[in-house]
């Protein structure tokens, strides 16, 4: 059996032999090592793709850096806005929780500013607590139980209001209007605010503004 010797680059750049009678491509002559033959349905040269030049890479990185520099301030403003909205929604959720607990337990409950997490004290910036007004004193007292504690505001957010205490009656309405009014959360870095208004019906609503 005769074999033709071909120099092809597809098999490790080594000479291969193709049998005219069998569809075999071998690394070495079959008469020497017939067991190393492998079946190849076709033999084709590899096609190598084009790569990047150094200049193209530098230009691409430069353009990417410019785009990132332009997008960074807008992204920071977006993140700050989202944090402001999140903290405002957390306050609304706690107000609604206090209202629902007052209805469920048929007793007074409240939300108040708290710097300690155990009693009503300090400003809203330091956080707040939700409590059950067990003795219906319309304020925090030592016999009342705390349902939830919210930590201090973060991300340059400050909160202002003329009231530091919200009290709900068993009907879900504000008890004697305690806590009715606006609660403003302001982020001074972006000049944006979220204004939460609580009516005497006890339902909070939120609007956006500037500060």
Looking at residue 128, which CATH number applies to its domain?
3.55.40.10
Instruction: List Cα–Cα distances, 197 to 9, 29, 144, in angstroms.
Output: 78, 91, 26
Phi-psi region of 179 (alpha: psi -120 to 50; beta: other; left: phi over 0): left
Q: What is the pLDDT of residue 49?
A: 56
**Local confidence band at 50 (pLDDT 50, 70, 90 cut-offs):** low
Work out how many domains the chain is built from and give that number: 1
Q: Note the pLDDT tens digit of each residue in 9-46.
A: 444 455 544 445 444 444 444 444 444 444 444 444 44
> Which helix (H) or strand (E) element contains residue 46?
none
User: Is residue 40 included in any domain, yes or no?
Assistant: no
Q: Do the beta carbons of residue 185 and residue 158 sit within 8 Å?
A: yes
Q: Reply yes or no on whether the pLDDT at 196 is more than 80.
A: yes
Range(s) of the domain holding residue 104: 81-210
Residue 102 lies in a domain: yes
pLDDT bin (cut points 50, 70, 90) of residue 51 is: confident
* β-pairing verdict for 4-7 and 15-18: antiparallel
Query: What is the pLDDT, as a whole number, of residue 42?
Result: 45
Q: What integer best gives the mean pLDDT of the chain?
A: 82
- Which token pair is 173? 């309405």
Residues 138 and 166 sit within 8 Å (Cβ to Cβ): no
| CA–CA gap between residue 68 and residue 2 (Å, rounded) | 66
171 within a domain of the structure (yes/no): yes
- Does residue 73 fall inside a structural domain? no
- Could you give the residue ranges of the DSSP H alpha helices within 41-178? 54-105
Please give the model's pTM, rounded to 2 decimal places: 0.68
User: Is 90 exceeded by the pLDDT of residue 70?
Assistant: no
Quick one: pLDDT at residue 8? 44
Percent residues over pLDDT 70 in the chain:
76
Tell me, yes or no, whether 100 lies in a domain: yes
CA distance 16 to 24: 10
């Amino acid at each position: 059996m005769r074999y033709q010797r071909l120099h092809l680059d597809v098999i490790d750049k080594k000479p291969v032999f193709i049998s005219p009678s069998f569809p075999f491509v071998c690394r070495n002559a079959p008469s020497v090592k017939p067991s190393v033959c492998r079946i190849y349905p076709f033999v084709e040269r590899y096609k190598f793709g084009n790569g990047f030049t150094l200049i193209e890479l530098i230009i691409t990185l430069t353009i990417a850096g410019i785009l990132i520099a332009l997008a960074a301030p807008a992204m920071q403003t977006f993140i700050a806005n989202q944090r402001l909205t999140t903290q405002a929604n957390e306050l609304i959720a706690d107000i609604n929780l206090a209202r629902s607990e007052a209805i469920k337990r048929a007793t007074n409950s409240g939300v108040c500013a708290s710097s300690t997490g155990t009693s009503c004290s300090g400003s809203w910036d330091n956080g707040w607590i939700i409590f059950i007004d067990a003795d219906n004193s319309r304020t925090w007292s030592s016999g009342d139980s705390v349902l939830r504690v919210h930590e201090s505001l973060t991300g340059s957010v400050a909160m202002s209001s003329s009231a530091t205490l919200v009290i709900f009656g068993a009907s879900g309405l504000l008890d004697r209007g305690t806590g009715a009014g606006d609660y403003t959360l302001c982020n001074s870095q972006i000049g944006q605010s979220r204004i939460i208004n609580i009516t005497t019906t006890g339902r909070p609503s939120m609007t956006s503004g500037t500060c």
